C-alpha cells in the first residue's frame, strides 16, 4: 500500500513528480526503564528552503545509499555525531511547491560525540507539545505519531491550529 501523502498548499496538481528520498532521524532520550523522553529538533539553515523552520535532522539519499547510510552520513555532517542503530519507523510522502519528498523517519536511541551545529542551525530537545516555532509541515505528522504512542492529548506544537471541540 502507498504511504500517506501530505499536500502542502501551493503544490496541488504536482503529485506526478518523482519523490526524492530523505532519511530523517528521530533522536530520542530513554530512561533506565526504556521510557521515551525528549526528542531532538533542529532548525533549517539560512540557505535552504523553509529556512528557520524546525524539523528532525536528516537529508537526501545520495546515489547507492541506504536510508541508514544516508542518515549516518547526514547526522555526522550536520551535527558532528556518530549514531548507533537506526530503527526504521514511519514513511510519508510530502508534496511541497519546491519538491516532492519521501521521508523515511527512523528512531535512533544511541549516538556518540559532542553536538556541533556545523551548518549554523540551532538544536532543541523537546517534549510534547513542541514549544519551538515554526514547525516544518512535513514534521507535523511525526509529532502526531509520537503523541499517539505516548497517549498525549491536545495540540502537538505551539503553532498548531486550535483544536476543534468534539
Residues that bind ligand 8DG (CB under 6 A): 22, 24, 48, 55-60, 94, 96, 99, 101, 103, 136, 138-139
H-helix or E-strand spanning residue 143: helix 140-150
Q: What is the CA radius of gyration of the chain?
A: 16
- Kindly state the smallest distance separating residue 29's Cβ from ligand 8DG, in Å: 18
Whether the CB-CB separation of 159 and 135 falls below 8 Å is answered with yes
CB of 33 to ligand 8DG, least distance (A): 28
Residue nearest to ligand 8DG (CB): 138
**Given the complex with ligand 8DG, which of 33 and 158 has the nearer CB atom?**
158
Q: Are 38 and 127 in contact (CB under 8 A)?
A: yes
Q: Which is nearer to ligand 8DG, 67 or 136 (CB)?
A: 136
Residue 20's alpha-carbon distances to 71, 124, 159, in angstroms, are 14, 26, 27
Our CB check for ligand 8DG shows the closer of 7 and 165 to be 7
Which of left, alpha, beta for 100 (phi over 0: left; psi -120 to 50: alpha)?
beta
C-alpha cell at 130: 513542541
In the complex, what is the shortest distance from the CB of residue 101 to ligand 8DG, in angstroms, rounded to a whole number?
A: 4
Least gap, CB of 165 to ligand 8DG (angstroms): 29
Amino acid at each position: 500500500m502507498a504511504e500517506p501523502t501530505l499536500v502542502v498548499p501551493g503544490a496541488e496538481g504536482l503529485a506526478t513528480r518523482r519523490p526524492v528520498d530523505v532519511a530523517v532521524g528521530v533522536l530520542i532520550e530513554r530512561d533506565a526503564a526504556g521510557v521515551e523522553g525528549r526528542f531532538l529538533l533542529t532548525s533549517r539553515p539560512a540557505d535552504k528552503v523553509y529556512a528557520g523552520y524546525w524539523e528532525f535532522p536528516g537529508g537526501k539519499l545520495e546515489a547507492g545509499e541506504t536510508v541508514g547510510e544516508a542518515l549516518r552520513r547526514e547526522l555526522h555532517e550536520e551535527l558532528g555525531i556518530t549514531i548507533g542503530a537506526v530503527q526504521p519507523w514511519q514513511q510519508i510522502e510530502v508534496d511541497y511547491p519546491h519538491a516532492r519528498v519521501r521521508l523515511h523517519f527512523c528512531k535512533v536511541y544511541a549516538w556518540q560525540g559532542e553536538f556541533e551545529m556545523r551548518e549554523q542551525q540551532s538544536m532543541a530537545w523537546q517534549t510534547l507539545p513542541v514549544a519551538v516555532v515554526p514547525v516544518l509541515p512535513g514534521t507535523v505528522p511525526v509529532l502526531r505519531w509520537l503523541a499517539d504512542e505516548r497517549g498525549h492529548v491536545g495540540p502537538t506544537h505551539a503553532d498548531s491550529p486550535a483544536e476543534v471541540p468534539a
